[in-house]
Chain A
Amino acid sequence: MGTTVKGVNNQLSSDVLAPPTERYTVLGWLVKNLFSSWYNAVLTFIAIGIVIAIGRPAIIWAFSQARWIVIPFNMANLMVGVYPRAEIWRVWCVVYLIMGLVGLTWRAQFTGHKRGIVVFAAIMVLGVLPIELAFMGMDGETIRTTSLPSGMAGVGIGGLLGMFVGQVGGERAKRLSTYGWLWFYPIAIFLVRGISSGHDILPLVKTSQWGGLMLNTIVSSTALVLGLPIGIIFALGRRSKLPVFRTVSIVFIEFVRGVPLITILFTAQVMIPLFLPEEVRIDNLIRAMIGVTLFAAAYIAEIVRGGLQAIPRGQYEASDALAMTRAVGLRYIILPQALRTTIPMMVNEAIGLSKDTSLLKIVAMMELLSMAQALTANPDYIGTQRELLTFVMVVFWLVTYILAYAGRRLETAQGLGER
């Protein structure tokens, strides 16, 4: 008796059966997922009908009627607008810099990913290939086969160099990547803008010559970089016990959030010259940047306020107990925790901002959308609105996708949702 029991036990423990995996035949899968009941079958057929109704004409158009050639021919226009073609190498340098920083950050900060190299390579393909394709015709109006490999090589080298530094640099590389991103923005603006009109190496390029996707990127990153500190100040103001700060913050935040961005842009264009003395003249682009930055600041303020609300009162009490002043406590205890929890919302805000920069078209900035629209006025490219607009949509979609992906990586790197 006992032996049988023992034998049974032995048998059970020696080869425990794995839980059954769900395995279906093709037909079984179809029945379960598509035709489980009569209305599911109807829904399936409706869905197939929709796919055919929309997909068929779209594919026919894309592969036989669309004149895609307009895009590579005008790639330089779409990417940098009327930026002087002789100075385009400076934009390339900024792109290489970005890739280097991405590679560095990837190796130094996001460690613990065993498949880091593979993922980074995938990112390079995912994120860089479109940029590559986009920059194809940057040297002129026609496709130059030479520019693609050289640009590609530069971007690849930049990325790999960054990764290498991140690999060997250790803790120092971590700091380098943080400071790299901090310094990247002023350096990029400096490179794009140049020094003075007579300078030999970096002649001044006026802001009226900036354009294309470059302009969108510059405006949205400016709004983020400058909007964050302003937003933090207003968020703190809104939570302040002092009535003056609170009222001012609430009025600003609610006012800006209550009106469409387009009215803020119009107001910035026509009102800023009115508000300043006659002799002060502010550049068109700067006015637009002020508008977008204030807009971003109001939304960031609300995000930061949400983050501040999530900090338990004990943290404030602890900083008081350590005899920290309010400012020191905020800097070293409250804000680091509050900002960390707001990363997902901040990424959303960055995505929203990069989409919103298309509104600059309405105030006559030569950003990507307006370049695409301007091209259709060219007699050679009449009737290519669909092609150009499709391209612009794809570019924006890729930008938002990459931002969302980087945001998810940043969340895991910061251990969000794990503690």
Chain B
Amino acid sequence: MNSPTNLYASKATPFWRDERVLQLVTQVVTLLAILLAGGWLIRNMFVALELRGIPPSFSFLNLTSQFDIGQPKGWHIRDDPYWNAFLVGLYNTILVSFIGIILATIWGTVIGIARLSSNYLIAKLAQLYVEAIRGIPLLIFMIFVYQGVFMKFPKVDDSIIAGDWLYINVRGIYTVRGVPTPMFQTYSVILFAGLIAAAGVAWMLIRKRQITGQTPMTGLWTIGTFLAVAFLGWIILPSAPFSPEYPLPEGFNIQGGMRWTPEFCAVGFALVIYTASFVAEIVRGGIMSVSKGQIEAARSLGLSAIDTMRIVVMPQALRVIIPPLTSTWMSLTKNSSLALAVGYPDVVAIAGTVQMQSGRAVEVWFMMVMPVYLTLSLLTSAFGNWYNKRMKIVEL
């Protein structure tokens, strides 16, 4: 006669059907397979690199690059090492992305609000813009802007001239530039003082709001303070901190002034116009996600149309807008790599040249370019998570 315990013991799950064991085994097997495959691939790579006489190392970064980078002018010449070229490329990527993100956000917001306008023509134009641009590959648009617009500008001799401060021709857009004079150091101290004063004003006004509940125009006053100090400082100083440098035609070229190359302009313009069409849809969706009752409630409390937008609609819309907006910024940064196609020396373009010259594919792509973009996207998603956490509706 069997006791119940014996019965269970005889029917215990055998280990080859125990889910925990199975899970462990599949994981170990998968891990082994991945390691083996990866090891095989990497071994092949080492063999191939040895065969070509370029075992992986970063020492090539100190070799002279043998190429010039035209932009920014003089930052990298042919005698400089490769690592300098990388830094210049990185600078160019960040520059065009930064300017692009700011302008695309502003322009996209304008278009997004225009799509909601009660004005029929404006709304339809904005819709046409968004639908036309979103269906076109950015690369083609960028090349079109470069070859079809910026390369069709007049020659240097026939530049489009506005006063003596703006020249537009096929070699770029030249504007006036402020060159720092010896007085600039004193002025920068004044600017710093202005910054502190503005921070103080902002702190005071925020305190005031917290104590009295009144809403002074904090942003306006803060910026106003800074500008006032900057303006007063400029007047008080015996000579101006900047001297203007005007672009001047000289021979076949234009000397001096601030030069925006056609490559930079084309990349920036295309990125802004393209990305703005995505930003516009995000902004529109965000504003439409605020329920109509909120607006009606705000209006019946006596808030003006602007105040309704500023303190009722926008804070709620931003909660919807910001997360996709950050990913749009990220994709703009990644898209700036297409600049390669029009000859703008961004980090990918320079990496391509370096890899072509040195043959160091592994180091250049895996160890340098991809980590740069990965870092940027990790930073972006960290910001998105942080913002989400801060803005999440607190529910009990």
A and B interact physically: yes
Interface residues of A (CB under 8 A from B): 33-34, 36, 40, 43-44, 47-48, 50-51, 242-245, 248, 255, 257-263, 266-267, 270-271, 273-278, 351, 355-356, 358-359, 361-362, 369, 373, 385-386, 389-390, 392-393, 396-397, 400-401
**Given A47-B121, A50-B125, A243-B27, A386 and B373 touching (CB < 8 A)?**
no
The reply to whether A262 and B338 form a contact with Cβ atoms under 8 Å apart is yes
Residue of B nearest to A280 (CB): B44
Query: How far is it, in angstroms, between the C-alpha of A393 and the C-alpha of B26 when the chains are bound?
Result: 49
Query: How far is it, in angstroms, between the C-alpha of A82 and the C-alpha of B334 when the chains are bound?
Result: 32
The reply to whether A390 and B143 form a contact with Cβ atoms under 8 Å apart is no
CB distance from A350 to the nearest CB of B (A): 13
The reply to whether B366 and A267 form a contact with Cβ atoms under 8 Å apart is yes
* B120 adjacent to chain A (CB < 8 Å): yes
Residue of B nearest to A48 (CB): B121
CB distance from A401 to the nearest CB of B (A): 6
Residue of B nearest to A241 (CB): B23
Interface residues of B (CB under 8 A from A): 23, 26-28, 30-31, 34, 41-42, 44-45, 47-49, 51, 117-122, 125, 132, 134-141, 143-144, 147-148, 334-335, 337-338, 340-341, 348, 352, 355, 361-362, 365-366, 369-370, 373-374, 377-378
Query: How far is it, in angstroms, between the C-alpha of A99 and the C-alpha of B111 when the chains are bound?
Result: 38
The reply to whether B27 and A245 form a contact with Cβ atoms under 8 Å apart is yes
Query: How far is it, in angstroms, between the C-alpha of A167 and the C-alpha of B30 when the chains are bound?
Result: 49
For B340, give its contact among A276, A351, A362 (CB under 8 Å): A362
**Given A262-B338, A274-B45, A373-B143, A43 and B122 touching (CB < 8 A)?**
yes
For B140, give its contact among A43, A266, A369 (CB under 8 Å): A369
For B370, give its contact among A263, A351, A356, A362 (CB under 8 Å): A263
Query: How far is it, in angstroms, between the C-alpha of A244 and the C-alpha of B29 when the chains are bound?
Result: 10
Query: How far is it, in angstroms, between the C-alpha of A415 and the C-alpha of B31 when the chains are bound?
Result: 41
For A34, give its contact among B28, B47, B119 (CB under 8 Å): B119
The reply to whether A389 and B143 form a contact with Cβ atoms under 8 Å apart is yes
The reply to whether A278 and B137 form a contact with Cβ atoms under 8 Å apart is no
The reply to whether A275 and B374 form a contact with Cβ atoms under 8 Å apart is no
Query: How far is it, in angstroms, between the C-alpha of A390 and the C-alpha of B143 when the chains are bound?
Result: 11
**Given A242-B26, A396-B137, A248 and B34 touching (CB < 8 A)?**
yes
Known interface pairs A43-B119, A47-B125, A271-B361; 10 further A-B residue pairs with C-beta atoms within 8 A, sorted by A's residue number: A242-B26, A262-B340, A262-B348, A263-B337, A266-B348, A275-B44, A278-B51, A355-B135, A361-B341, A392-B140
Residue of B nearest to A257 (CB): B377
Which residues on the A side are within 8 Å of B42 (C-beta)? 275
Query: How far is it, in angstroms, between the C-alpha of A162 and the C-alpha of B271 when the chains are bound?
Result: 43
Main secondary structure of the interface of A (DSSP, over half): helix
CB distance from A101 to the nearest CB of B (A): 24
Which residues on the B side are within 8 Å of A245 (C-beta)? 27, 30
Which residues on the B side are within 8 Å of A355 (C-beta)? 135-138
**Given A244-B31, A255-B374, A276-B44, A33 and B120 touching (CB < 8 A)?**
yes
Which residues on the B side are within 8 Å of A260 (C-beta)? 334-335, 337-338, 348, 373
The reply to whether A274 and B23 form a contact with Cβ atoms under 8 Å apart is no
The reply to whether A270 and B355 form a contact with Cβ atoms under 8 Å apart is yes
Residue of B nearest to A33 (CB): B120
For A369, give its contact among B48, B143, B334 (CB under 8 Å): B143
Residue of B nearest to A40 (CB): B119
Query: How far is it, in angstroms, between the C-alpha of A227 and the C-alpha of B86 when the chains are bound?
Result: 33
CB distance from B130 to the nearest CB of A (A): 13
For B365, give its contact among A266, A393, A396 (CB under 8 Å): A266
Which residues on the B side are within 8 Å of A266 (C-beta)? 348, 352, 355, 365
Which residues on the A side are within 8 Å of B134 (C-beta)? 400
CB distance from B173 to the nearest CB of A (A): 19
**Given A34-B121, A48-B121, A361-B341, A389 and B140 touching (CB < 8 A)?**
yes
The reply to whether B44 and A242 form a contact with Cβ atoms under 8 Å apart is no
Which residues on the B side are within 8 Å of A277 (C-beta)? 44, 47
**Given A43-B122, A262-B338, A274-B44, A244 and B27 touching (CB < 8 A)?**
yes
The reply to whether B26 and A359 form a contact with Cβ atoms under 8 Å apart is no
For B136, give its contact among A50, A243, A396 (CB under 8 Å): A396
Which residues on the A side are within 8 Å of B48 (C-beta)? 273-274, 278
CB distance from B155 to the nearest CB of A (A): 15
The reply to whether B118 and A33 form a contact with Cβ atoms under 8 Å apart is yes
The reply to whether A259 and B122 form a contact with Cβ atoms under 8 Å apart is no
